[in-house]
Structure 1
Amino acid sequence: MKTIFICLITFSLSATVNAQIINPKRLFEKKANQAIEKKVDETLNNKSKKEETSKDKELPKEAEKVNPSQAALPSLQTYSRFDFIPGEKVIFFDDFTQDNIGDFPALWNTNGSAEIVTTNLFPGRWMKFASRNAIWTDGLLKLPDNYTLEFDVIPIKSEEGRMAGYNFRLLQSINAKSYDHGSVPGKAGFLFSCEYYGRTGYRTYINDAEGADLGLSGYKDGQQFYQVENYKYHISIWVQKARLRLYQDANKLFDLPKAFPLTDVRFDRIRFENGAAMVSNIRIAVGTPDMRNKLITEGKLVSYGIYFDVNKDVVKPESYGTLKEIASVLNENPTFKIKIVGHTDGDGADAANLDLSKRRAAAVKTEIVRIFSIDSVRIETDGQGESQPVAPNDSPSNKALNRRVEFVKL
């Protein structure tokens, strides 16, 4: 009997889909943004295999094993659809540099415990908690109608030995000096939650008769949006009166046009609770920066929307929205020239701060030229170190005001 062997070969195909964002506000702005998006897409499509391999070598191990596509280190290019621009003036900031390692942070309160730690994977200091309790801002915050709120978060293992998820809450408190308990604490609240398996969701509520039926809730499905253990996420929240938008890294997870339709809802506290995570770089800022007017009319723009790690000169990817606006101004005004000036806070040696500020200004120029194809001869750079403070270097929030990048019309 003759035996016949049949070999089957399976082919796989892949496709790349490119999205385009068109800003219809004005003709010039539309053309500028189209040009920018085209250059960004070209950059994305021509990224070398060498660059990708280099990124893979630096992956946090847990993130690499759980979800390789999510674990790729972020870059400015990966934020090419990110339209978040932080507020113009910082009103609250905490990176825990004023706290000792192992201590509970000075600006916070708790009905449980937390401590300041460092990690070999991520620079800076982090507030670590792993319990079913809560940690909240000790003093009440005075938040206006419009503001932005950002923080970095790393989900970690709980005492049970597995990822526990966590909750973040914006709260209108009842008890100014103590803990508001319950599943819907305070007068009103916004809850952002990460479940133990990584899915994120939200809930809004107003605890009075008028707001009883106005609560909202939902989830962000899709494995690509799930958080994984030991991976850092940048959360950005943009509040404009009743509207609330929330971003996770480069992705807009939720856009709630009528999150809080009652005008008497005014949040005054933030808190982390019910899980295990490390958080840092908590920043609240107010005022929507009018970059075009300030650069063209006033001749100077002070920006707090360009981020660096401590003592580093590498521009962080969440700076993309701000850089894109600057590039749009330069594209709309082809004869326009600027000087980028870096400033630091007063921590560290004067000479080191001066050198750091110059390197940071040069790094900003490099990214604007590289990503948005602005002619380099139109941009000069300089650094002033800690020599021109705009606030005393006596608190995390004031130090954050001194760490800035200025754009000056030439």
Structure 2
Amino acid sequence: MLRKITLLISFLLVVSTLSTTAQVKNVQKEAEQQGTKRINHKIDEGIDSGFDKIEDGIGSLFGKKKKKKKNQPQTEEVSTESESQTAENGIEKTNEPQMDVQWSKFDFVPGDEVIFEDGPDVMEENGEFPSRWDLEQGQVEIAQVNGETVMIFLDGGKIMPYLKNANEDYLPDVFTIEFDYYTPKDGNRLSFYLTDTKHQRSSETQEFEVTPIRVSTPDGNYVQHSDRDYSYYENGCWTHVSLAYTNGKLKVYLDDTRLINIPHYEHNPSGFTIYPYFAKAADDKAFYVKNVRIAKGGVKYYDRVLNEGKIVCNGIRFDVNKATLKPESMGPINKIFELMQKQPDLKFSVEGHTDSDGDDAKNQTLSEQRAKTVMDQLITMGISADRLSSKGFGESQPVADNGTAEGKANNRRVEFVKF
């Protein structure tokens, strides 16, 4: 043992002398020939090599395991230095930061003033052209599908809202558009335009192409739904399309997922046109469209509470004559939830209202059930039950004329009244 120690000390002295000599030699002579950068590299290599040899020698004296060289795969034989990077309880540490990501893929909130609405109405006659629309080309008729009144596109069919001011820009600076459409088995895409292609011919063409799995913008770019592929609609399916425009900012959603988010849309939306070019009744490729709504945007929820003491939501939707929430209702409900989280002293009475269609007593019961459904949803999401109550008013408190489709749409609402 004494002999080994003597040899190690001698080795250390030799290495120290070599390192010092190398540094003097490099600085005085080689710097002039090869440059400072190369000299420093050689010095580093010499010192690293010396340290490795010293460590190996000390390790052999005290029974340490040999440290793995760089770029060699890790095995169970790791050095004490590597072991020091392991956290308590055997959990390996990592330099990657833990990210608390909060991101909503569905933040759509419908406008609060409906300016065009078509279900179509149940009183529309089967086989006739839909009365609230105008036609540019193709063939579109009213039909009943699984008990619901829809528009059926038989031969392409390009339609737009039938409005007195159709040749003008009738879309406000803040608006939303929604509709449901059915893609048939092996069906192709549907197009919609943010212009009236029949009456606003001087306007820019703003065609968006949609399928149940992707959206294509006017410039030809498309965004794919991350959770869907062709198999999603190979046998046909319904899709809810929603669009929100706010002073140049444009978002497009499929069902409950945002796909398009344009911060500065270069065109001016002026109207609305629907055109499923590939619809062919003869080949069993008919498209169906229903629940079309264009609404003027509104004030932020918190500002409404401060100014009016309540929030009026006609974007919370339910199945027909039921209290079952539709998926697109989660946009406004999520906003109410976020508001109540940020304002812990805020309490709401959730109040349901209906239009005048149907029996008074049934409307009263339905409004109560729907209000309770919304309240229960917020409680399920984490809002304390003592901050919420619910009640229904049926058709007794209209805010618009029940004689028009738009008036009925504005009367079918859920209000959040501060208490």
Query: What is the TM-score when the length of structure 1 is the normalising length?
Result: 0.69
CA contact (8 A) 1:136 1:272 kept: no
- 2:355 match: 345
**Alignment CA distance shift 1:356-1:21 (3 Å):** farther
Is the counterpart of residue 188 in structure 1 residue 204 in structure 2?
A: yes
- How far does residue 20 in structure 1 lie from its aligned partner after superposition? 6.2
CA contact (8 A) 2:140 2:153 kept: yes
**Which one of 205, 223, 238 corresponds to residue 232 of structure 1?**
238
- How far does residue 134 in structure 1 lie from its aligned partner after superposition? 1.4
- 1:149 match: 177
Q: Secondary structure at the match of 2:292?
A: strand
Q: Which entry has the higher C-alpha Rg, 1 or 2? A: 2
- 1:269 match: 272
CA contact (8 A) 1:154 1:278 kept: yes
- 1:219 match: 222
Is the counterpart of residue 299 in structure 1 residue 309 in structure 2?
A: yes
Task: Provide the rounded CA distance (Å) in 1 between the counterparts of 2:148 and 2:320.
Answer: 6
**Which one of 103, 118, 134 corresponds to residue 144 of structure 2?**
118
**Stretches of structure 2 lacking an aligned partner (at least 5 in a row):** 1-97, 280-286
CA contact (8 A) 1:339 1:379 kept: yes
Is the counterpart of residue 319 in structure 1 residue 305 in structure 2?
A: no
- How far does residue 392 in structure 1 lie from its aligned partner after superposition? 1.2
Is the counterpart of residue 95 in structure 1 residue 98 in structure 2?
A: no
CA contact (8 A) 1:296 1:409 kept: no
Task: Provide the rounded CA distance (Å) in 1 between the counterparts of 2:262 and 2:229.
Answer: 18
CA contact (8 A) 1:82 1:250 kept: yes
Task: Provide the rounded CA distance (Å) in 2 between the counterparts of 1:395 and 1:217.
Answer: 38
Coordinate RMSD, CA, aligned: 2.5
Name the amino acid aligned to 1:377.
Answer: D
**Which one of 352, 356, 360 corresponds to residue 370 of structure 2?**
360
**Alignment CA distance shift 1:360-1:169 (3 Å):** same
**Alignment CA distance shift 1:409-1:321 (3 Å):** same
**Which one of 330, 333, 343 corresponds to residue 340 of structure 2?**
330
**Runs of at least 4 residues of structure 1 off by over 4 A?**
18-21
Q: Secondary structure at the match of 1:105?
A: coil
CA contact (8 A) 2:313 2:414 kept: yes
Q: Secondary structure at the match of 1:118?
A: strand
Task: Provide the rounded CA distance (Å) in 1 between the counterparts of 2:115 and 2:199.
Answer: 22
Is the counterpart of residue 169 in structure 1 residue 169 in structure 2?
A: no
- 1:63 match: none
**Which one of 203, 208, 216 corresponds to residue 202 of structure 1?**
216
- How far does residue 342 in structure 1 lie from its aligned partner after superposition? 0.4
Is the counterpart of residue 247 in structure 1 residue 275 in structure 2?
A: no
CA contact (8 A) 1:301 1:406 kept: yes
- 1:11 match: none
- How far does residue 318 in structure 1 lie from its aligned partner after superposition? 1.0
**Which one of 393, 404, 411 corresponds to residue 402 of structure 1?**
411
Query: Quick one: percent identity of the two aligned structures?
Result: 33
Q: Secondary structure at the match of 1:171?
A: coil
- How far does residue 379 in structure 1 lie from its aligned partner after superposition? 1.0
**Alignment CA distance shift 1:166-1:81 (3 Å):** closer
Task: Provide the rounded CA distance (Å) in 2 between the counterparts of 1:344 and 1:259.
Answer: 36
Give per-residue Cα distances to partners, 1:348-389, cap 9 Å, x unaligned.
01111111111100110111111x211112211111111111
Task: Provide the rounded CA distance (Å) in 2 between the counterparts of 1:173 and 1:241.
Answer: 22
Q: Secondary structure at the match of 1:114?
A: strand
**Alignment CA distance shift 1:105-1:307 (3 Å):** same
Name the amino acid aligned to 2:248.
Answer: A
Q: Secondary structure at the match of 1:318?
A: helix
- How far does residue 119 in structure 1 lie from its aligned partner after superposition? 2.3
**Stretches of structure 1 lacking an aligned partner (at least 5 in a row):** 1-17, 24-79, 181-185, 205-215
CA contact (8 A) 1:201 1:217 kept: no
- How far does residue 190 in structure 1 lie from its aligned partner after superposition? 2.1
Task: Provide the rounded CA distance (Å) in 2 between the counterparts of 1:82 and 1:223.
Answer: 14
Alignment of 1:366-405 (within 5 A): 366-370=376-380, 372-405=381-414
Name the amino acid aligned to 2:183.
Answer: P
- How far does residue 189 in structure 1 lie from its aligned partner after superposition? 2.7
CA contact (8 A) 1:149 1:238 kept: yes
**Alignment CA distance shift 1:325-1:127 (3 Å):** same
- 2:159 match: 135
Q: Secondary structure at the match of 2:340?
A: helix
Task: Provide the rounded CA distance (Å) in 1 between the counterparts of 2:325 and 2:252.
Answer: 22
Q: How many residues are matched?
A: 306
**Alignment CA distance shift 1:87-1:388 (3 Å):** same
**Which one of 261, 264, 269 corresponds to residue 258 of structure 1?**
264
CA contact (8 A) 2:192 2:272 kept: no
CA contact (8 A) 2:189 2:276 kept: no
**Alignment CA distance shift 1:382-1:199 (3 Å):** closer
Task: Provide the rounded CA distance (Å) in 2 between the counterparts of 1:242 and 1:326.
Answer: 25
CA contact (8 A) 2:368 2:392 kept: yes
